[in-house]
Amino acid sequence: MNTPLLSLGLEGLMSWVEARNWPRFHARQVWRWVFVRRCRDFSQMTDVPKRLREELADHLDFFSTRVVREQRAKDGTCKLLLELRDKETIECVLIPEQERRTACISTQVGCGMGCVFCASGLNGLARNLDWWEILEQLLHLSERLAPAERLTHLVVMGMGEPLANLDNLLLALRWATDQQGLGLSQRHVTISTVGLPAKIRQLADLQLSYHLAVSLHAPNDELRNRIVPINARIGIAAILEAADYFFQKTGRQVTYEYVLLRGINDGAEQARQLGQLLRGRRAHVNLIPFNDVPGLPYRRPSDAALAEFMTILRHHGVSVTVRKRKGSEIEAACGQLRRQMRNQAKEFSVATEPIVVPASMV
Ligand code: SAH
């Protein structure tokens, strides 16, 4: 197995090329072929000397990940299952909507946060992704676009907790947003976090223009501890303080995500508490009706409960939207395809892992 091309970075590739007695600018050509021209084969990089192309192909692997499954929904949503070198799998999704082409990417194999309703964390965390494994997802997804199209938006809402792998995420985002990379606007990149205050502050101090979304899911610690177990070690107050700091440092309004689980956190009382918590803050709430996960006991809220929840928040002066459902028939909610594949594989394996299904919350 060779070094993956992207893992060198442009600077590293320049040194690599130079060490082989070629002018450094050839590295820029290669980078351009990869990011701008979506070329996936060294031999097709026609303005690079043929002998250098051969050397590149001999010593570097174009990708460290490969697409092992691809699903397309009627609404155009396209979901890829990627296999990593250690045979682990991750998911990423392309969501076309009007003029937008949004990529949703993963940052970890599995997740260690343990949110009870989420498919990604049910088997815990396997490992962090390396930064080029994060970036390769974007390149695989951009290949699914029409030639004249470009990725316009990026949401880090796939598997894993992005802020628990911040260093790798930042390196990947550098190339996602660099003019010599994919050239996305920083403002069109959303990082969704369970809410790790120290990491939110670290990100804020970098004064980048990424958009932060905090997965709150409950208006009080007692309830949040049950839905988002990591909260017992953090607490909502510390998260809100860190999010306020983020706003202060970056000028970017924070979004609070709130997955609505029927009969658990979707009542009028919770809406009132959430309204009080966020009233007066420059914040936006994105309500996400629960996406079914096979084996989990949770359900989506009724339409009436959803409408009432929104109305109450608006009465508190909080801006609120409901996340549209995309790609539901291809199980586009994070972690579901990987889980489905793993469970299929289990039918043939002898040593089966236990599937952790949290006890019903009600
Ligand atoms: N670890 C990050 C990214 C998770 S995925 C975070 O916690 O924000 C992005 C969002 O989808 C999170 O708000 C997550 O809680 C939510 N989510 C996970 N599983 C879901 C499901 N089955 N239905 C609806 N939303 C879900």
CATH number, domain with residue 182: 3.20.20.70
Same domain, 196 and 303: yes
- Integer angstrom CA distances of residue 40 from 28, 63, 70: 15, 9, 18
Where does a domain end: 61, 79, 106? 61
The residue whose CA has the least distance to atom 7 of ligand 1 is 194
Same domain, 118 and 47: no
Report DSSP letters for 177-232, one per residue.
Answer: HSTTTT---GGGEEEEES--HHHHHHHHHTT---EEEEE---SSHHHHHHHSGGGG
The CATH number linked to 25 is 1.10.150.530
If one counts the domains in the chain, the total is 2
Same domain, 32 and 99: no
The residue whose CA has the least distance to atom 19 of ligand 1 is 118
| pLDDT for the residue 119 | 94
Question: What atom of ligand 1 comes closest to residue 336's alpha carbon?
Answer: 22
Give the burial string for 76-95 (b: 16+ CB within 10 Å, else e). Answer: ebbbbbbbbeeebbbbbbbb
Residue 222 is a catalytic residue? no
Residues 190-226: tens digit of each pLDDT: 999 999 999 999 999 999 999 999 999 999 999 999 9
Same domain, 70 and 38: no
Q: How many whole angstroms from 263 Cα to the centroid of ligand 1?
A: 18
Model confidence at 331: pLDDT above 80:
no
How far apart are the C-alpha atoms of 113 and 111, rounded to whole Å? 6
Region 244-261 average pLDDT? 97
Q: How many whole angstroms from 118 Cα to the centroid of ligand 1?
A: 6
Residue 91 is a catalytic residue? yes
How far apart are the C-alpha atoms of 212 and 197, rounded to whole Å? 12
| pLDDT for the residue 157 | 97
Q: How many whole angstroms from 153 Cα to the centroid of ligand 1?
A: 18
Average pLDDT, the chain: 92
The preferred substitution site among 325, 334, 339, 361 for testing ligand 1, maximizing ligand atoms within 8 Å of CB, is: 334
Minimum mean pLDDT among 42-46, 71-75, 179-183: which range?
71-75
Per-residue confidence band for 358, with pLDDT thresholds at 50, 70 and 90: very low
Model confidence at 357: pLDDT above 60:
no
**Which residue would you say has higher pLDDT here, 326 or 320?**
320
How far apart are the C-alpha atoms of 150 and 102, rounded to whole Å? 9
